Amino acid sequence: MPSITSAGVGSGLDLEAIISVTLEAENAPKVARFDKKESTLKVQLTALGQIKSDLSAFESSLDVLKDISNFNKRKTTVTQPEGGDILSVTSQSTATAGNFNIAVKQLSQGSRAVQADAAAYTSTTDVVTATGGTLTFDAGGKTFDVTLDAGATLADLRTAINEKEDNFGVSANIINTGGTSKLVFSSSVTGDGNDLSVTNNIAELDRVSTVANAGGAGGMVIDPTNDAAKDAIIEIDGIEVKSSTNTFENAIQDSTITVTKESPTDPNDPTKLLTAKLNIDTDKEYVKETLEKFVESYNKLMTTLDTMITAKTVDATARGLRDTIVNQLSAVVTSAGGLETIYDAGFSLEKDRKLEIKNSGVNALDDVLNESYDDIGKLFAGNGNIADTLSETVDSYLRAGGLISSQKNALETEKRSLADDRERHSYRMEQYESRLREKYASLDVLVAGLRSQGNAISASLSSLPGFVQKK
């Protein structure tokens, strides 16, 4: 008997529909369970990712709070006099708060040596040394040598000085007056007593030295009034202070003053100089901004955790993290003076577990910053204090192998297992369909055979005499 390749072709029955419905009844519930499980895993992984992101931002704010130096910053405010900026100031965390009036009497200056008229050359191509020789440059304890070949010209000397690798800051220029060419040395070494000295090893080079080979003056001259190296001089509340450079270290203890311009004369009293007004104070604004960022990152984390708990997404992880952080946030600290908890330091914890900064009333943050500034740093920073304790908890969740990482790995394992289950189920359904088709193929052949026999019998009966077929 020929085989039936399409279910129902032989029998005329709609066996394909029966097979399809049977397969769907078997497949649909399991696929629905797979889809639901996959969707749940996806939501859980997304939730963990969001918690990790918000927790990392919270950790960053804790890192700032853990560092006591961030509570010791100083804010320097300089009010410049009319006529432009004359100085700038930076202060270390150990600087004492105070107000100062500062006048800049004199900027520091490096020395300048100009070739005397009698020593000048007629042009840049004039030979400086016929036999060769060495010049030694010295200023403020710094030194370098320039060796000239025989026949070196004035232009060669300038180039040799300016291109010397160990040159400490001497520039050489040539001024052409129209009839003479004069050499000029400018030294960047500032401060009283640091005038440039140029000596030589051959008298032929006396014209380009400040000191002659045999002693006495050379051809390069430093005007003591206008071109000598000078200290910078400032007055702090009337007290004169000098520096060999334009930078004053610790003139005000633990502060650095850099002067850029001499003070203008007071238009109302030509005998006086206008001053810059300096205020050094604790940087309360920086601390307040730091605490505001802490509150912002904390509240965002709480919102995320509450959302996960309400939606019953990674519920246990979110609830455990939330409760631990809230409890640690309320911990008592014994090393912060009169501040025992954050609620003494300008914070309040609302019913929804969110933090708020108190801007008025008892223990308002601004009042605490003014009255107990040093204690705020002790409250948050230091071993066992609030930021340190919270940071340890956060780290236990975020670090490699931590709680979030472990739960993520577990969910990823479930995800891979689910993919395997889908694949096995697909294989079982293929086998099940094959068995159904085999069973219904036999039925199809049987019914087709019976139908064929029935048709044959009917045909035989219809040919008998006197047989009338019902219509």
Which of 141-150, 335-344, 446-455 is least confident?
Answer: 446-455
Per-residue pLDDT, 19: 85
**Mean of pLDDT values over 207-217:** 96
Strand spans (E) along 237-390: 239-243, 247-249, 255-259, 265-266, 269-273, 276-282, 347-349, 355-357
pLDDT at 91: 95
Give the distance from CA 337 to its chain's centroid. 33
Lowest mean pLDDT among 19-33, 203-217, 278-292, 309-323: 309-323
Per-residue confidence (pLDDT) for residue 467, from 0 to 100 = 56
Q: What is the mean pLDDT of the chain?
A: 91
- What share of the chain has pLDDT > 70, as a percent? 94
Q: What is the average pLDDT across 325-354?
A: 92
Q: Per the confidence metrics, is the pTM higher than 0.75?
A: no
Q: Given this model, what pLDDT does residue 438 score?
A: 82
Identify the band that residue 59 occupies on the pLDDT scale cut at 50, 70 and 90. Answer: very high
For 390-435, write each residue's pLDDT tens digit. Answer: 999 999 999 988 888 888 898 899 999 999 999 999 999 999 988 8
The upper half-sphere exposure of residue 455, i.e. CA atoms within 13 Å in the direction of its Cβ, equals 7
211 Cβ neighbours under 8 A, 6+ residues apart: 197, 198, 199, 217, 218
In this predicted model, what pLDDT tens digit does every residue of 259-307 receive, in sequence order? Answer: 999 999 999 999 999 999 999 999 999 999 999 999 999 999 999 999 8
CA dihedral 39, 42, 44, 46 (to 10 degrees): -140
Inform me whether the pLDDT recorded for 197 exceeds 50. Answer: yes
Res. 1 pLDDT band, cuts 50 70 90: very low
Q: How would residue 4 be classed by pLDDT, with cut points 50, 70 and 90?
A: very low
- Give start and end residues of each alpha helix (H) in 75-233: 154-162
311: confidence class by pLDDT, cuts 50, 70, 90: confident
Contact 295, 357 (CB under 8 A): yes
What mean pLDDT comes out for the span 62-80? 93
Res 470 pLDDT > 60: no
**In terms of Cα–Cα distance, which of 305, 422, 418, 412 is closest to 45?**
412
CB 170 within 8 A of CB 157: no
User: Cα separation of 205 and 198, whole Å?
Assistant: 10
In terms of Cα–Cα distance, which of 278, 301, 240, 251 is closest to 105? 240
pLDDT for res 10: 54
Cα gap 173→148, rounded to integer Å = 17
